[in-house]
């Protein structure tokens, strides 16, 4: 595939993920956060089943499990629990903030991954720390009001960004042991099941508003998870990890564009400045390492494993976004994402 086509697929993936923030914001007006997440992740998981079947049919070598049968469900349950936490915080937060702000704050997970990775012994570099400074400055301009207090919805989305970063790191480890597409399907199912249980336990009329939120749910479930996930996997067979992660970070920009076009959202000059600084921090943290030899070739692309990968996850993600997850966990990440 040509570079232009690869880049186009990655940009399209980022656009789908970015506009999902507007879908989530719109859906929050009709249905509770747990009900919305239960429906969209159930659809997302089901949408991956045909992809798994097609890839299995095209595989010429017989499938051989590398680990006992319970390893994949165990990892799927673990990643699904983290995904449930991150998506719940994000959905509750987006009820009281804008889609544009939520997209930029969520995008901070790209900077947070290498920072949290230090605890696991991963190495970081000066570009990451420069990105952190820019991103934190941008967050302060975007979300903190006079008196140094954080807007409630933005705070929930910010805590969610930490869990999106943890999600990337957990998937990075899980992909060493299990098939990435199977992992994605199980984690989406786990997240949907936990969300459904929480909806039944805490919401007065769970799933009552799904009829009015059918378009946002279909978009967030089928397009953001199923279609975008598949596009990312196809494109990353031909793209270098750092290059792909940089393009996918445009999700934050498309989130702001979607909020403006679909929901009529606007920002102050301070907000736009903060958003640009966050995007700058994300970009700086993703810049490839300069070789001592200017003519040295770039490292080969890390294409997807035999099966594929958040997502999301997202986001995102990752959603569970496996190839990008590996790149992000080592040199800064989405997958998204996640969305």
- The model's pLDDT over 188-227, given as tens digits with 9 standing for 90+, comes to 999 999 999 999 999 998 898 888 999 999 999 999 887 8
Q: Is residue 294 part of a domain?
A: no
Residue 333, pLDDT > 60, answer no
User: Could you tell me if residue 298 is inside a domain?
Assistant: no
Quick check: 123 and 275 in contact, CB under 8 A?
Answer: no
pTM (whole model) above 0.85: no
| C-beta separation of 309 from 175 below 8 A | yes
pLDDT at position 161 over 70: yes
What is the greatest pairwise CA distance in the chain? Answer: 63
Range of the domain at 52: 3-59+69-288+306-331
pLDDT at residue 309 above 60? no
Inside any domain, residue 40:
yes
Tell me what pLDDT residue 146 has.
Answer: 66
In-domain check, residue 301: no
- The pLDDT value recorded for residue 218 is 94
260 touches 60 (CB < 8 A)? no
The reply to whether 111 falls in a domain is: yes
Name the band, by pLDDT with cuts 50, 70 and 90, for residue 63.
low
Q: Reply yes or no on whether the pLDDT at 68 is more than 60.
A: yes
Number of domain units in the chain: 1
Look at 42 and 309; give whichever has higher pLDDT: 42
324 pLDDT exceeds 50?
no
CA 220/CA 214 separation, integer angstroms:
10
Residue 139 lies in a domain: yes
List the beta bridge partners of residue 338: 314
Assigned domain for 47 exists:
yes
Note whether residue 300 is domain-resident. no
Determine the average pLDDT of the residues in 279-306.
57
């Amino acid at each position: 595939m040509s570079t232009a086509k690869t880049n186009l697929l990655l940009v399209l993936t980022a656009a789908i993920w970015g506009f999902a923030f507007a879908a989530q914001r719109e859906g929050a007006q009709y249905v509770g956060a747990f009900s919305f997440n239960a429906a969209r992740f159930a659809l997302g998981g089901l949408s991956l089943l045909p992809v798994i079947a097609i890839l299995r049919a095209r595989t010429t070598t017989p499938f051989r499990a590398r680990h006992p049968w319970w390893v994949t469900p165990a990892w799927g349950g673990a990643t699904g629990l983290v995904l449930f936490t991150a998506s719940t915080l994000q959905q509750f937060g987006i009820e009281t903030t804008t889609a544009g702000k939520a997209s930029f704050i969520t995008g901070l997970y790209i900077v947070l991954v290498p920072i949290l990775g230090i605890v696991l012994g991963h190495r970081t570099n000066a570009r990451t720390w420069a990105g952190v400074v820019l991103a934190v400055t941008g967050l302060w301009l975007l979300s903190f009001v006079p008196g140094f207090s954080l807007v409630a919805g933005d705070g929930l989305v910010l805590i969610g960004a930490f869990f999106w970063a943890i999600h990337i790191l957990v998937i990075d480890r899980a992909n060493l042991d299990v098939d990435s597409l199977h992992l994605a399907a199980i984690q989406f199912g786990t997240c949907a099941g936990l969300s459904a249980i929480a909806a039944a336990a805490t919401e007065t009329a769970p799933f009552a508003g799904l009829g009015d939120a059918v378009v946002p749910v279909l978009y967030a479930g089928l397009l953001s998870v199923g279609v975008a996930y598949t596009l990312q996997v196809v494109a990353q067979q031909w793209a270098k990890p750092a290059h792909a992660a940089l393009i996918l970070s445009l999700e934050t920009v498309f989130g702001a564009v979607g909020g403006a076009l679909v929901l009529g959202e606007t920002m102050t000059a301070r907000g736009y400045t903060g958003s640009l600084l966050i995007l700058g921090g994300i970009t700086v943290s993703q810049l490839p390492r300069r070789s001592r030899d200017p003519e040295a070739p770039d490292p080969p692309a890390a294409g997807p494993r035999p099966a594929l990968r958040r997502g999301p996850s997202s986001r995102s993600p990752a959603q569970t976004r496996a190839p990008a997850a590996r790149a992000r966990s080592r040199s800064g990440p989405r997958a998204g994402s996640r969305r």
